Amino acid sequence: MEGAREQVTDQQQTVGIDDLPIRDELRGKSPYGAPQLDVPVQLNTNENPYPLPEPLVARIAERVAEAARGLNRYPDRDAVELRTELARYLTRTGGHPVAVGNVWAANGSNEVLQQLLQTFGGPGRTAIGFEPSYSMHALIARGTGTGWISGPRHEDFTIDVDAAERAIAAHRPDVVFITSPNNPTGTAVEAETVLALYEAAQAARPSLVVVDEAYVEFSHRASLLPLIEGRPNLVVSRTMSKAFGAAGLRLGYLAAHPAVVDAVQLVRLPYHLSAVTQATALAALEHTDTLLGYVEQLKAERDRLVDELRAIGYEVTESDANFVQFGHFGGAEGSHEAWRKILDRGVLVRDNGVPGWLRVTAGTPEENDAFLDAVRALKKEQSS
Ligand SMILES: *Cc1c(COP(=O)(O)O)cnc(C)c1O
């Protein structure tokens, strides 16, 4: 990005974004920007640290070669084979039978969420999320012209159900985001909470409730997928970016009533999911069991991070994800300074802007050891 910038001509550099006739609500705003720094230990974007196993790499090459022979044609617009396999995966692991008609896929769950907001949000409409939560919900809302409402949480980062119900009744949002396990806090949401907010949202409008389960494979608890039964306005969104270790693939999906799948067809770009993406995702799904084996290792490492951080003397938020929120570093300045000092020791963690807290992704045992050494040293320095 920076290299590309250096190559633009002087004349172009005198023109900034705000000199362009962009939409008013985009003026003065910043893009999504987790720093991509070249540091030995990168534990900042909740990626899976394990590269895909070689047999899977070979299978991807095979399936992509097959797809390449047909690249003169547009891909299967409805990605039926892929959606069938995703439905099979959800049925096997999600505690609820799902058919191809219940599943939709796109380039990352971010695109799934964007399609949902294009369909159910948009100008004159609003969405609510309970913050701190995944910053892209608010950003995609903005990008689709949907108004954003920041809903409340308890001090311990669980959702304050009474306050959330009041916020839904007062604002009558068109879309409600519930992230479980939540990013960046790691907290899971109880099924009863989802049901209470769903009822509140239906009474107020009715509105679409989106349960973002990007990290559910790492959870101690069962998926909220069974809740879609009999609730056409409830959507569960998933991704292959985290548990499947395929962030570079860009494959997200949702499960919902078939009417929701029909509705997003109204906004999706034709042939949005390339034949190469479909072939790669299908190859990865053939290796589900191997990939979920890594998830077990990561869960054990996540639990070790929680225990060791507490032993060092940090506060840790209960985590059901592949990352851990830790602190407390006083206010926003304290957490930023701590972030910097951990970075100086060669470990990149994430400052999500939650004052006093940082987030570390569970990496390999070696990476986690390096992180623990860094924060142990930091603790010593800060308490001396
Ligand atoms: C990482 C993440 C996603 C995944 O986005 P992709 O576009 O599928 O990579 C979705 N939701 C949450 C809460 C996340 O943290």
Q: Which tokens in the block code for residue 316? A: 């840790």
Assign 2 a pLDDT band (cuts: 50, 70, 90): very low
Assign 134 a pLDDT band (cuts: 50, 70, 90): very high
Sheet containing 323-327: order of strands: 315-316, 323-327, 358-361
Residue 283 DSSP SS3: helix
Distance in angstroms (rounded) separating the CA atoms of residues 140 and 138: 6
* Contact assessment for residue 91 and residue 98, using Cβ atoms and an 8 Å cutoff: yes
Predicted local confidence at residue 311, as pLDDT = 98
Predicted local confidence at residue 34, as pLDDT = 73
**Residue 246's closest CA among 4, 88, 50?**
50
Pocket test for ligand 1, best of 104, 217, 241 (most atoms within 8 A of CB): 241
pLDDT at 13 over 90: no
State in Å: Cα 129 to ligand 1 middle.
Answer: 15
Q: Which residue has the higher pLDDT, 129 or 29?
A: 129
**How does pLDDT run across 247-289, given as a tens digit for each residue?**
999 999 999 999 999 999 999 999 999 999 999 999 999 999 9
State in Å: Cα 381 to ligand 1 middle.
Answer: 35
**How does pLDDT run across 14-58, given as a tens digit for each residue?**
898 889 999 988 888 888 777 788 899 999 999 999 999 999 999
Pocket test for ligand 1, best of 131, 136, 361 (most atoms within 8 A of CB): 136
State in Å: Cα 241 to ligand 1 middle.
Answer: 7
State in Å: Cα 203 to ligand 1 middle.
Answer: 29
Query: Using CA positions, which residue lies closest to atom 11 of ligand 1?
Result: 214
Pocket test for ligand 1, best of 32, 140, 183 (most atoms within 8 A of CB): 183
Pocket test for ligand 1, best of 32, 44, 47, 109 (most atoms within 8 A of CB): 109
Residues with Cβ within 6 A of ligand 1?
46, 108-110, 134, 179, 183, 212, 214, 239, 241-242, 247, 252
**How does pLDDT run across 76-109, given as a tens digit for each residue?**
999 999 999 999 999 999 999 999 999 999 999 9
Query: Using CA positions, which residue lies closest to atom 10 of ligand 1?
Result: 214
Atom of ligand 1 nearest to the CA of 247: 9
Predicted local confidence at residue 309, as pLDDT = 98
pTM of the model: 0.94
Cα distances (angstroms) measured from residue 283 to each of 60, 236, 251, 277: 5, 23, 12, 10
Predicted local confidence at residue 25, as pLDDT = 84
Atom of ligand 1 nearest to the CA of 111: 7
Find the mean pLDDT for residues 165-188. Answer: 97
pLDDT at 8 over 60: no
Cα dihedral 21/24/28/31 (nearest 10): -90
Assign 3 a pLDDT band (cuts: 50, 70, 90): very low
State in Å: Cα 240 to ligand 1 middle.
Answer: 9
State in Å: Cα 236 to ligand 1 middle.
Answer: 13
> Mean pLDDT score of the chain, rounded to an integer?
94
**How does pLDDT run across 324-338, given as a tens digit for each residue?**
999 999 999 999 999
46 alpha carbon, distance to own chain's centre: 9
Find the mean pLDDT for residues 306-321. Answer: 97
Predicted local confidence at residue 30, as pLDDT = 82
Cα distances (angstroms) measured from residue 51 to each of 57, 89, 105, 291, 295: 9, 21, 23, 10, 13
